[in-house]
Structure 1
Amino acid sequence: MKISLKPMALCGAGLLAFVANAQESGRKVVLHGSVQSDVLIPEEDEKIGTGTYSDWGLTNTYADLNLMSKYVDAGARLEFTEFPLPGFEPDFKGWGVPHIYVKGKLKGVDITAGDFYDQFGSGFVFRTYEERSLGIDNSLRGARVNVTGLKGVSFKVLGGLQRRYWDWSKDSWVGGADLELNLEQYSARMRDKNITWMVGGSYVLKHEKDEDIVVPGTNYRLNLPEMVSAFDVRSRFQKGDYSLLAEYAWKSQDPSFDNGYIYHRGNALMLSGSYSRRGMSALLQVKRSEDMAYRSQRSMNGNSVFINNMPAFAYQHTYALAALYPYATQAAGGEWAFQGEVGYNFARRTPLGGKYGTKLKVNFSHVRSLDKEDVDAAVGTSLYGTKGYKSKFFKVGGETYYQDINVQMEKKLTKAFKLNLMYMNQRFNDAVIRQEDNGMIKSHIAVAEGKYQFNNKLTLRAEAQYLATKQDEGDWTYGLLELSVLPYFMFTVSDMWNNGESNVHYYMGSVTFNYKAHRLMAGYGRTRAGYNCSGGVCRYVPATRGFQMSYNFNF
């Protein structure tokens, strides 16, 4: 058990004092929160390779409590992961109250003390957030001042220790400031022309104590920088249906586990343009990043203690087979990433629109390597302590990391029946993304989804998917049936079948019950080993079989 009684006691006392003070002063206090509990009662299955289990039941459970008033907010979170679900790192195990905060608000200024999340710009130099499905919670424990009361100005300054599961490093400190100016607030002419123009900048500093890192094959000890700085500048211009965003980030020398302890400076550039009007939208983005893995603890690996986040320029698929090979951003090694999307709605009662209209969307994602050239000879058996490499900024590398071309169509055929179709062509560099030896996995994926609404309470949804590839495990077939009985029940059965190499079925059946703010799901079946990804960050999930239950309550 990993639990800190002192923060729990302080939090409890602070919340009680807050409620009592608010009640005495006659101010309105709003209480809200949530409970989330995911449970697995596992069964061993040699056919899918589950391994063995030492506990009969596994759970990740969270309970949030927040009190809000006009001038003061306060909150805490209880987490119970003493018997965590499969695939989480060993240090994820524990229970206690790791998240507590108090926030004061007055005339456009709020001050937070405790644990908090925030983001500067697109997150290139700073982003703290929680993603429970990935086991990520990299919040800061410290203080933040946020100023929004000045005309056209948004300013914040913050600092603290970063969370890593049940610890907060005393050897590392993170601080930063962010400023955004909304220039249209100072120009009536810009507002009259429907123009918004934001310019912003950020600065982040990591201070981390030195440590003993020896160059492999030698007795040389690295002279590590205790201060690592990162800057970010950005501008977003929007006029009517058009929007343009440019952002550039830079990071000082930061030898770490991620980059092989080389003394290389990081940078990232993103350009994004979009157009949107009724019935049509278009998006074009390009990003170049290099050595932008930025952690508060240089020798850590995995998904923990990242100060920043590099977003993935790849479509976030929700269909099971389309998401079978998800892309993970190459923050340390760097990448060129391109993404474009066009959507068009064919109007009703036109040749392509038909009676109810037709929605068509085409998306393209392509990620390549940087063009690199080593500039220093290896010391001992590695590049530790060298500058590592150089690269021409505008030259694209010759290796493809990932490519996804997909076409999606939504078509309402009758008043009761709606059909969605998708075709996807994918290239997935297994050696780079998963560090596995399957070469370039090339796949064709077809999806058909139909939804038939019998009446206001009864809806049947079905999915049929097929993935064809000659690499890795070969072809896959997926089928799903889902019956919704409003307002309380949903019944789901599905099967993911590897009809290529293993001939294994990953079957699943579940029942979901909804009542007011409560949601309970109970199911039984198999889950394939693979990667769960969100925003370019991935976690490996081992194969499982057993009874699953999930409960959610919001108030």
Structure 2
Amino acid sequence: MKKLYSFILLFLLSISVFSQVNGNLSGGFESNIQWYLNDKGLKDEFNNPTSHPDEPLRSNNYLFLNYNYKNWSAGIQGEAYEQNALLNLNPKYNGTNVATYFIQYKSEKLDITGGYFYEQFGSGLLLRSWEDRALGINNALRGLRVIFKPTSFITIKSLYGQQRTGFDVADSKIYGTDVEFDLKTLFKFQTSDLTLGFNYVGRDEKLDLPDQKFNDLTNAFGGRVNFSHNSYYISFEMNYKAEDAVVQINNQVNNRLVKPGSSFLINTGYSKKGFGVDATFRRLENMSFFSERGAKGNEFNDKIMNFIPSLTKQQHYNLANIYVYQAQPGVFIADKDLLKAGEIGGQIDVFYDIKKGTTLGGKNGMKIAVNASNWNALSGTFYIFNPQDYQTDFLKFGKKYYTDFSIEVTKKWNNKWQSAFSYINQYYNKQLVEGTDGVIHTNIAAAEATYKFTPTKSIRVVGEHMWADYDKKNWASSTVEFNANSKYSFYIMDLYNYGNDLEYQRNHYYNIGGAYRKKTTRIALSYGRQRGGLVCVGGVCRNVPESSGVSLSLNTSF
């Protein structure tokens, strides 16, 4: 822990030193500490107790400082993973080191950044670099980025860099250019917005393969249109990735299968007071894109260049997040029952506010939200051997990956009481999505009520139940949250897998904890069990093992 203490000391000294310099200093410190405990009640599929980590006390710590002076800014982020990172985080996150740094000059027309930076072109289907600590993702680019605005309606971005992986960078080079035209400004539209965008991304990874049938440099191109008028909006995006090796089994790069990739995305909707509808359609074919080809399929989202979230409702109920769909952009051809070249599908969201004073709305009105999504494999012809190949149908749906339907009704009864009821139905093809076996149908019911004692003091009670016909079968869950005031909050919750066919896996996943907030500082402490499975943020997931222990987190900024 000495390195951790030195890390915190560096943070405090930095504040003292930089505060004496002209300009503006901002930053923060985040620490997530876990003490893993032996828990003989958690057992694997063979009735053996889950393994206990060699270093039971682990932590992820982040110190970041940004300094601004006139048109200039600079920043640095240090990270400490002591004694090791939290379970199932990328093993490259190890020890204490400087993670990212940058220096930037920004004026009205010119923005130049050297060092590490984050960037996204369009929706991110070809390029997105971002940080999400809960998922263990930080794929910043180290290099140079220039943003030039020659006029008020043209923005040009160009970049060159290498992608971060752990405390190092990937063994490849990434190039990119994005041009966007703001036609609203050019033509002075009063009630409409219209933008056009075009981008190029290149990934150059040198390989030494005999008789290589693809280029080291993989070129990708994209275009997009965004339009809105009053309450209506629509966006359209297409991308193309040139022929490249399709990496499938054991991360081996070879000439067995060389194919191009493509994506098609359309989002449209209408919104006004009390009513809204949003619909999205997406088709992906061979759109896995990594800074190193052999990184495809790694469970840590390491070296991933693009952003492909699952376009399904992000549920806030515990049981609705057990069977979570993950986007399927890649190719897998190895078995007649497991043939994939991408995905096709979409989702639709509808909300409606029943007016106050009506029979259903009552005194305070009522809100109804409906969501439905459907995702399938691409239809096509697949050749498993001699040679391996496939041809897809553009708009035909193949085998079903996942569907869900949900309805949520929220009612405010008076200034103190509010309640909500949800029903969720899911279809989850575990064989196609995870490559294991089985198809799971679930029905989930959830009800919650919130009572406000004062504007800052409230209690929330949630009850959930899942009926599942396969895998771990039925679950029940309950949660109680109490906000004592604006500073203190507490919770207790339990997920109970009472319907599991294996008696020794009918576990309670209980948690109890609380948090303290003051200004920009938050401290949280909890004790309990972590259910094994996927943890997802914004449609991107990572797998976590079952564990038991005490957690402490600190987050502060200035």
What is the TM-score with the length of structure 2 in the denominator? Answer: 0.89
| Equivalent residue number for residue 131 of structure 1 | 132
Q: Secondary structure at the match of 2:306?
A: coil
Aligned 8 A contact 1:48 1:528 in 2: no
CA RMSD, Structure 1 to Structure 2 (Å): 2.3
1:445-456 paired onto structure 2 within 5 Å: 445-456=444-455
1:171-210 paired onto structure 2 within 5 Å: 171-188=171-188, 190-191=189-190, 194-210=191-207
**Aligned mates of 2:384, 2:57 — CA distance in 1:** 52
**Aligned mates of 1:222, 1:94 — CA distance in 2:** 38
**Aligned mates of 2:540, 2:294 — CA distance in 1:** 19
Write the deviation string for residues 173-225 of structure 1: whole angstroms up to 9, x where unpaired: 0010001101111223x22xx0111110100011110134xxxxxxx764442
Q: Secondary structure at the match of 1:403?
A: strand
**Aligned mates of 2:535, 2:371 — CA distance in 1:** 21
| Equivalent residue number for residue 259 of structure 2 | 264
Match of 2:358 among 350, 361, 384: 350
Match of 1:373 among 361, 366, 381: 381
Aligned 8 A contact 2:246 2:259 in 1: no
The amino acid that maps onto 2:241 is K
| Equivalent residue number for residue 80 of structure 1 | 80
Question: Which is worse superposed, 74-83 or 89-98?
Answer: 89-98
Q: Secondary structure at the match of 1:243?
A: strand
Match of 2:31 among 14, 37, 44: 37
| Equivalent residue number for residue 488 of structure 1 | 487
**Aligned mates of 2:288, 2:232 — CA distance in 1:** 32
- Alpha-carbon distance, 1:310 to partner: 1.7
Aligned 8 A contact 1:111 1:144 in 2: yes
The amino acid that maps onto 1:46 is K
- Alpha-carbon distance, 1:534 to partner: 2.6
Aligned 8 A contact 1:210 1:225 in 2: no
| Equivalent residue number for residue 228 of structure 2 | 238
Aligned 8 A contact 2:309 2:326 in 1: no
Write the deviation string for residues 305-338 of structure 1: whole angstroms up to 9, x where unpaired: 1111223211111211111111111111310021
- Alpha-carbon distance, 1:160 to partner: 0.5
Q: Secondary structure at the match of 2:92?
A: helix
Gaps of 5+ in 2: 44-49, 332-341
Question: Which is worse superposed, 46-55 or 514-523?
Answer: 46-55
Aligned 8 A contact 2:90 2:166 in 1: no
Q: Percent identity of the aligned residues?
A: 30
Q: Secondary structure at the match of 1:445?
A: strand
What is the TM-score with the length of structure 1 in the denominator? Answer: 0.90
**Aligned mates of 2:221, 2:261 — CA distance in 1:** 10
**Aligned mates of 1:285, 1:75 — CA distance in 2:** 37
1:169-318 paired onto structure 2 within 5 Å: 169=170, 171-188=171-188, 190-191=189-190, 194-212=191-209, 222-258=212-248, 262-300=257-295, 301-302=297-298, 303-318=301-316
- Alpha-carbon distance, 1:493 to partner: 0.6
| Equivalent residue number for residue 217 of structure 1 | none
- Alpha-carbon distance, 1:149 to partner: 5.8
- Alpha-carbon distance, 1:92 to partner: 2.5
| Equivalent residue number for residue 468 of structure 2 | 469
**Aligned mates of 1:323, 1:210 — CA distance in 2:** 40
**Aligned mates of 2:480, 2:506 — CA distance in 1:** 21
| Equivalent residue number for residue 339 of structure 1 | 347
Question: Which is worse superposed, 243-252 or 140-149?
Answer: 140-149
| Equivalent residue number for residue 54 of structure 1 | 54
**Aligned mates of 1:203, 1:458 — CA distance in 2:** 52
1:91 aligns with 2:92: yes
| Equivalent residue number for residue 531 of structure 2 | 528
Aligned 8 A contact 1:94 1:166 in 2: no
| Equivalent residue number for residue 432 of structure 1 | 432
Aligned 8 A contact 2:483 2:490 in 1: yes
Taking a change above 3 Å as real, the CA distance of residues 137 and 318 of structure 1, as seen in their structure-2 partners, is: same
Write the deviation string for residues 343-388 of structure 1: whole angstroms up to 9, x where unpaired: 1111111112111111101000100010121358435xxx3xxxx2
1:8-23 paired onto structure 2 within 5 Å: 23=21
- Alpha-carbon distance, 1:413 to partner: 1.3
Question: Which is worse superposed, 47-56 or 106-115?
Answer: 47-56
| Equivalent residue number for residue 338 of structure 2 | none
| Equivalent residue number for residue 498 of structure 1 | 497
Q: Secondary structure at the match of 2:244?
A: coil
**Aligned mates of 2:517, 2:244 — CA distance in 1:** 49
**Aligned mates of 1:436, 1:94 — CA distance in 2:** 35
Match of 2:545 among 539, 542, 548: 542
**Aligned mates of 1:457, 1:180 — CA distance in 2:** 45
- Alpha-carbon distance, 1:394 to partner: 1.8
Gaps of 5+ in 1: 213-219
Aligned 8 A contact 1:45 1:51 in 2: no
The amino acid that maps onto 1:286 is F
The amino acid that maps onto 2:122 is G
Write the deviation string for residues 84-121 of structure 1: whole angstroms up to 9, x where unpaired: 11111322323211100000112321100000111000
Aligned 8 A contact 1:494 1:507 in 2: yes
Q: Secondary structure at the match of 2:319?
A: coil
**Aligned mates of 1:377, 1:528 — CA distance in 2:** 40
Write the deviation string for residues 471-511 of structure 1: whole angstroms up to 9, x where unpaired: 11110000011110112211111111011113211111102
| Equivalent residue number for residue 102 of structure 1 | 103
Write the deviation string for residues 428-464 of structure 1: whole angstroms up to 9, x where unpaired: 1111222222x11110011111110012332001110
The amino acid that maps onto 2:547 is T
Q: Secondary structure at the match of 1:254?
A: strand
